[in-house]
Amino acid sequence: MTPLQDYQHAIAKALRDGGEAPFSLEEARFAVYRRLVFNNLSSFVDQCFPIASALLGTTQWRHLCEQFFRESQCHSPLFKDIPETFLNWVEERPDKPAWLHDLMHYEWLELAAYHHLADVNDTLERVETALIDEAYDTWRVCLNPTLQFGLYPRPVHLFAMGHPIPDADGQWYGFLVFRTTKHEVKFHSVNATTLQLLQHLQHDASVWRACQMLSQQLPGTSADSLLPHTLELLGKLMQDQIVLGYQKRIMAAG
């Protein structure tokens, strides 16, 4: 490493582990800088996870943030990426409450959709369902590019201060989070089957191919029986800007 890199690493280590100020820096001033850095990091985390932090409590949440500050490695220089790094770090902690990561992931989806770099374009061709039904293998569904998926074993949308924390109840709760053309972030509740269908479609599958893949996950269900229900569902999702339209697929020759 260069002398400058050595200097930067020493400063970063002292900031993280609370050690003495390096290079004969004045301790009082360095302590002020340490607080500023930690408070800056905490502010981005607190803004993204308001419900999780409130339910965990001020003391435990601050302790968690302090551990993250000491132990984590933030490789992105962008402040907006701090909450995701924190989320992934919490996921690996064996001592976290069972509900914490689920709730935090649900809250983080809003930030992920809001800051997504894609442009939400709703000017795609609105093809009639009947036309797609006649040539369903030639059409690609264009989903909202900011679409984020969440599937949880507990009703994360019911978490709130002053109420008991819901337990896992044997059901799965699916959510779609996305940004509209008006730059508004919306949450849409879906069942696990719908979420799986959209995940298939996200990988450039035709409507027909997505139905085929989904039928393999639903014993006793055929792609033919799923097709009309899928087309109806996609029509409804288009009204909410979850589906933006259809495009002709490029078919391989030969």
Query: Residue 153, Cα to own-chain centre: how many angstroms?
Result: 16
Query: Residue 107, Cα to own-chain centre: how many angstroms?
Result: 8
pLDDT digits (tens, 9 = 90+) for 96-117: 999 999 999 999 999 999 999 9
CA distance 113 to 186: 9
CA distance 140 to 149: 20
Total-model pTM: 0.86
- For residue 78, give both structure tokens: 């962008």
CA distance 70 to 86: 12
Q: Which residue has the tokens 């690609």?
A: 140
Going by pLDDT thresholds of 50, 70 and 90, the confidence category of residue 250 is low
Going by pLDDT thresholds of 50, 70 and 90, the confidence category of residue 32 is confident
pLDDT of residue 253: 44
Report the chain's mean pLDDT, rounded to a whole number.
Answer: 85
CB 201 within 8 A of CB 134: no
Dihedral of CA 234/240/242/244: which sign? positive
The lowest-confidence range among 4-8, 69-73, 165-169 is 4-8
